[in-house]
Chain A
Amino acid sequence: DVQLVESGGGLEKPGGSLRLSCKVSGLSFSTAWMSWVRQSPGKGLECVGLIRSQNNGGTIDYGAPVKGRFTISRDDSISTLYLQMNSLKIEDTGIYYCTTDVGSIWTPFWGQGALVAVSS
């Protein structure tokens, strides 16, 4: 079975940092394009970013609200996806989902979600 297990969420103050991890099993992680999608009360669903597989250049695209503050990376040797979140803002509060490429022709797999709360 395919599993995506996220960790690393929590409460942080504005301006602080958090790092999310997503451990993937049951699929060929090294060839998978991966997304981070967040759900927030005020803005609904937003794509935080997409990272392509290394054999497709490993390029990364970020959503405008997080560009320059968030960094997506992957370690194919341990099938893990990361989201480094710096300079956190209150509006970054939400549930962050690790997912296989939401735009692919293949049905996306989703993690259980990691709660991120930014508050002073």
Chain B
Amino acid sequence: DVVLTQSPLSLPVTLGQPASFSCRSSQSLTHSDGNTYLSWFQLRPGQCPRRLIYRVSNRDSGVPDRFSGSGSGTDFTLKISRVEAEDVGIYYCMQGTHWPPGYTFGQGTTLEIK
């Protein structure tokens, strides 16, 4: 089964500085239909999860443009151009290319303020 490995597990960042999250897949996430089904989710303390990015680089409705996604094949990155206090939380990547196993999340990266 496909496995998503995120790094680092913990990311301390100074307010106003950029942050970069890595997600690596054990198999290519390029589907036979040509799409790449890699999404990013944010889990803030005490809140329900929120999807930020779908299909590698498309921002969801209401997501600030300081969030951006990139990558292809097996390597993907989520970037925050300037970290704000409200960005603290855990960030997960998720694949939807391979069925089974179906939607699969990485183990998450915790963003904290330095």
Contacts and interface: CB of A to CB of B under 8 A. Distances in A.
Interface residues of B, number: 29
B34 to A, nearest CB: 14
B49 A46 contact: no
A108 B42 CA distance: 13
A115 to B, nearest CB: 12
A102 B51 contact: yes
Interface string B46-78: 001111001100101110000000000000000
A75 interface: no
Interface in A41-62: 44-47, 49-50, 61-62
B49 A47 contact: no
Given A44-B107, A47-B103, A63-B101, A105 B54 contact: yes
Interface string B8-47: 0000000000000000000000000000010101010000
A110 B101 contact: no
A107 B55 CA distance: 12
B107 A103 contact: no
Contact of A107 (B51, B100, B102): B51
Interface of A: 35, 37, 39, 44-47, 49-50, 61-64, 97, 102-105, 107-108, 110-113
